Chains A and B, each alone.
Chain A
């Protein structure tokens, strides 16, 4: 009861202040950032040092540095990341979480994206599939609740089979139960590139389905934090740091959005 009361009072205080999070970051000299480490170049755990490495942790560490604070990296899952942010366990999320209108309703975000993620299809090299239209009438595996299900069914006329997670969907593809598995390109590209088991598969469709910007998420209405973070993200683009970080982490193919945004922010 006392804790609940304190929490309510805390929320009240947060609402009364312009922006509690930025104050707290400055005061503590630390910022807690939630990162997704799902393996691969976007985030994984270095087996030798147990340190978080990859794209998401690199961005989180540099963001903390630019904010003049020490980074506390917290591992989050796609299923619980919003709760971590809302409950105050983390202050910011750099968690492979793309912008969409529903999320924009409940959370705040720095408007400048640091990446763009869309869906791509993994298929057997021998399947002869080269564009999304080739999937018409074919069985396609996806995750249940994936945003790619709708366009696959309605726009391209594919028969979608939704599995509980991407792991089962990809296994079903290898079991020959579907012609293609459609997931985030950031999942499929590194998988096909670095795995001997996936040597017979490729992602031949060049344009991504439903591309959406990845942004840094904050709690709702924290205008000062958002402004501070956005300034850092813009600076990342201007200096070419994101492009260098992408290259350093071996992320391929390079995301064209990064060069696009670098040109935009460099222009006077």
Chain B
């Protein structure tokens, strides 16, 4: 039933010059749907992983201990100033090869291309989160910190209970901005043959030459995802609003 409906839709689109015949090919349709799923998985894994990395790096940056601050700063600068694609190639093609050659694990190298994409994208965006959070942490008023210290808060309690909750509110618009960018960035996965929606589309259009049709679908899909992210971001901003602080 739905197959007939699909065929009708494809025929209707054909009349306006759009060739979506690939959805009638079972193999290509399932490849494309799998690609949508993989992109969703990538987003769902990299969003929390990048935020965790951001908090870690931000706390290292603002710790005031030189042995923590300096490596963290170096990592931020290197990561922020090189393209994600280059990092992904370095990680997957160079690091991964060295690991495969030198670590002889019984089950082979456990780091699949998918895992590398999650690691590289999370760390790359984590650095941007860290800088946004650092701005937030440094914007916490000195008197607030003094008040907390006088109540006997330890350094860690200070970070978790005072600085980060306030920094999060301050940095939220920048963080949401980063997350929107992160969703789009998952398309680099296609460069190392991780089957995300971009990769599956490339593999289809190099056989069928229906570039425009597939790019339209990709555009709509990413547009939908980024719109959802910014919607959640706006809701959080609304919810976390504190009168008299930040916005």
Contact = CB atoms under 8 A, between A and B. Distances in A.
Interface of A: 141, 144-145, 149-150, 160-164, 168, 171-172, 174-177
What are the nearest 7 A-B pairs in CB distance? Answer: A161-B193, A145-B206, A175-B97, A176-B100, A171-B93, A175-B96, A175-B100
Contacts of A174: 97
Given A168-B93, A176-B100, A163 B191 contact: yes
B93 to A, nearest CB: 4
B218 to A, nearest CB: 15
A171 B92 CA distance: 9
Given A144-B203, A168-B191, A176 B93 contact: no
Nearest to B27: A153
A42 to B, nearest CB: 24
Contact of B192 (A145, A160, A168, A176): A168
Contacts of A141: 193
A162 B97 contact: no
Contacts of A162: 193, 199, 202-203, 206
Given A149-B207, A171-B93, A174-B97, A144 B202 contact: yes
Given A171-B93, A172-B193, A176-B100, 19 more contacts: A144-B206, A145-B206, A149-B207, A150-B207, A161-B113, A162-B193, A162-B206, A163-B191, A168-B89, A168-B93, A171-B97, A172-B92, A172-B93, A175-B92, A175-B93, A175-B96, A175-B97, A175-B100, A176-B109
Contacts of B193: 141, 161-163, 172
A177 B114 CA distance: 11
Contact of A149 (B108, B112, B113, B203): B203
Contacts of A171: 93-94, 97
Contacts of A175: 92-93, 96-97, 100, 109
5 contacts: A145-B206, A162-B206, A163-B193, A172-B93, A172-B192
Nearest to A161: B193
A164 B108 CA distance: 25
Nearest to B108: A176
Contacts of B93: 168, 171-172, 175
Interface string B4-21: 000000000000000000
B42 to A, nearest CB: 16
B26 to A, nearest CB: 13
A164 B97 contact: no
Nearest to B95: A175
Nearest to B206: A145
Nearest to A174: B97
